[in-house]
Amino acid sequence: MTRVTDLRRTRIAVAAGFFLQGLVFASIVTQAPRIKDRFDIGDGGLTGILVVVAVVSGVGSALAGTVAERRSSAAAFRIALLTIGLGALLVGAAPTVPLLVAAFVVYGLGVGAVDAGMNMQGVRVQEAYGRSIMASFHGLWSVGGIIGALYAAGVAEIDFPFAASLAAVTAVTVAVTMMSAPHFIEAREHDPGLSGAGLDLPWRPVLVFGLVVLVFYASDTGILTWSSVYLEDALDASATVAPLAYGAYQGGALLSRFGGDLLVRRIGARAVVVIGTSVGVVGLLVVVVSPAPAVAIAGFFVVGLGLAILAPLSFAALAVAVPPAARDVAIARMNIANYAGAILGGGLIGAAASADHLRWAFVIPLVVVPVVLLTARSFRDRT
């Protein structure tokens, strides 16, 4: 009974880390208009800062792999969570644009490290449970994002000081991390003195599942950035209706992730990947051909319902495709595809959108997503 209780506490602790990542991310990103007004920077300047964050996040992910290799994934996760808390505090307190950029660099390093660390810990907890639970972890990231966005909207509505709002987020992050960290899995599966060059890291699964992660986050970032613009400019939706596109997408993603584990247990990961990819393609097709905002909103919901399961299943599949001693480093390196996808997705779709072809912009993920079907055979039905 004690072991069961300890494992449950570990699951809750790791889930809290996923939740914090989504909470801090949304609390900062959804306050972009306040950042622009405070520092008098345009869309181009803000986009440049976000690109810097994406690039630096890749570095943070690699650093998390190094820390996990030399110490443990628990240490990497703990340090990373405290880093995003510090980053949020610095973003809120930055008095000038150069210091704002420096603050976002700190935050970006933390984001990459948290993304890697939480998935390292997540696959270990799933292994201990002996059944699929990774999707629910990613679902809690989405819940954190929704709550963070609501929080950001609330503090903006009452004109609560920007710096104080992020300081509060930092306080929550530090407090929850301190309570959760003692329950992380501290196991080290190799000699801490073994160098990265000495680890047996097969690159094929890193590249295969990394491709799936890249495709997903390219689509996800494109929808995050351009779905509301698409509804407003191409389909003449009102400013009130346009944000419902991304809301519908996240609603579908929540259902996908909280229901995905049960589906994996019943029909296997391979079938879920095929079904999820196919459903996502159908949703994207609806978005592209939609004649009215309501149809497009329904399409975005279907996209989230199909594609959101791909990322957690990719991390879970990689964990069983590489030797245990190389698992943490493999996850950290594959996680870099997350940020490559974000840059490509935002950039390609943005290029099409800026050329006044918003409807065609979403043809890009429609064409690219089916590539995931070519990797489906690499997903094992049992972990």
Q: Which residue has the higher pLDDT, 39 or 90?
A: 90
Q: Residue ranges of the domains in the chain?
A: 1-184, 200-383
Q: How confident is the model at residue 50 (pLDDT cuts 50, 70, 90)?
A: confident
Q: What is the pLDDT of residues 149-185, one digit of tens each?
A: 888 878 888 888 989 999 999 999 999 999 999 999 8
CATH topology of domain 1-184: Growth Hormone; Chain: A; (1.20.1250)
Stretch 92-116: mean pLDDT: 93
Q: What is the pLDDT of residue 2?
A: 59
In the structure encoding, which two tokens stand for residue 276, read together? 């999820």
Q: Which of 14-23, 42-51, 204-213 has the lowest mean pLDDT?
A: 42-51
Stretch 176-203: mean pLDDT: 70
C-alpha distance across the termini of the chain, in Å: 24
Q: What is the pLDDT of residues 371-382, one digit of tens each?
A: 999 999 999 765
What percentage of the chain has pLDDT greater than the value 70?
92
pLDDT at residue 197 greater than cutoff 70: no
Structural contact between residues 47 and 140, judged by C-beta atoms closer than 8 angstroms: no
Spell out the residues 6+ positions from residue 33 whose beta carbon is closer than 8 angstroms to its own: 156
Mean pLDDT, the chain, integer: 87
Q: What is the pLDDT of residue 70?
A: 87
Residue 329: other Cβ atoms inside 10 A: 23
pLDDT at residue 350 greater than cutoff 80: no
Stretch 118-132: mean pLDDT: 90
pLDDT at residue 327 greater than cutoff 60: yes
Stretch 351-370: mean pLDDT: 80
CATH topology of domain 200-383: Growth Hormone; Chain: A; (1.20.1250)
What percentage of the chain has pLDDT greater than the value 90?
53
pLDDT at residue 63 greater than cutoff 50: yes
Q: What is the pLDDT of residues 217-236, one digit of tens each?
A: 999 988 887 888 788 878 88
SS3 string, the chain, reads: CHHHHHHHHHHHHHHHHHHHHHHHHHHHHCCHHHHHHHHCCCHHHHHHHHHHHHHHHHHHHHHHHHHHHHCCHHHHHHHHHHHHHHHHHHHHHCCCHHHHHHHHHHHHHHHHHHHHHHHHHHHHHHHHHCCCCHHHHHHHHHHHHHHHHHHHHHHHHCCCCHHHHHHHHHHHHHHHHHHHHHHCCCCCCCCCCCCHHHCCCCHHHHHHHHHHHHHHHHHHHHHHHHHHHHHHHHCCCCCCCCCHHHHHHHHHHHHHHHHHHHHHHHHCHHHHHHHHHHHHHHHHHHHHHCCCHHHHHHHHHHHHHHHCCHHHHHHHHHHHHCCHHHHHHHHHHHCHHHHHHHHHHHHHHHHHHHCCCHHHHCHHHHHHHHHHHHHHHHCCCCC
Angle between helices 327-334 and 203-229 (to 10 degrees): 40
Q: What is the pLDDT of residue 359?
A: 79
Q: Nearest 5°: phi and psi at 302? A: -65, -35
Name the pTM for this structure: 0.86
Q: Which of 112-116, 200-204, 309-313, 363-367 has the lowest mean pLDDT?
A: 200-204
CA 122 to chain centre: 14
Q: Which residue has the higher pLDDT, 43 or 24?
A: 24
Q: What is the pLDDT of residue 196?
A: 46
Q: What is the pLDDT of residues 64-91, one digit of tens each?
A: 989 988 888 899 999 999 999 999 999 9
Q: What is the pLDDT of residue 246?
A: 82
Q: What is the pLDDT of residue 282?
A: 97
Distance of alpha carbon 31 from alpha carbon 169, whole angstroms: 13
Q: Would 1-184 and 200-383 be classified into the same CATH topology?
A: yes
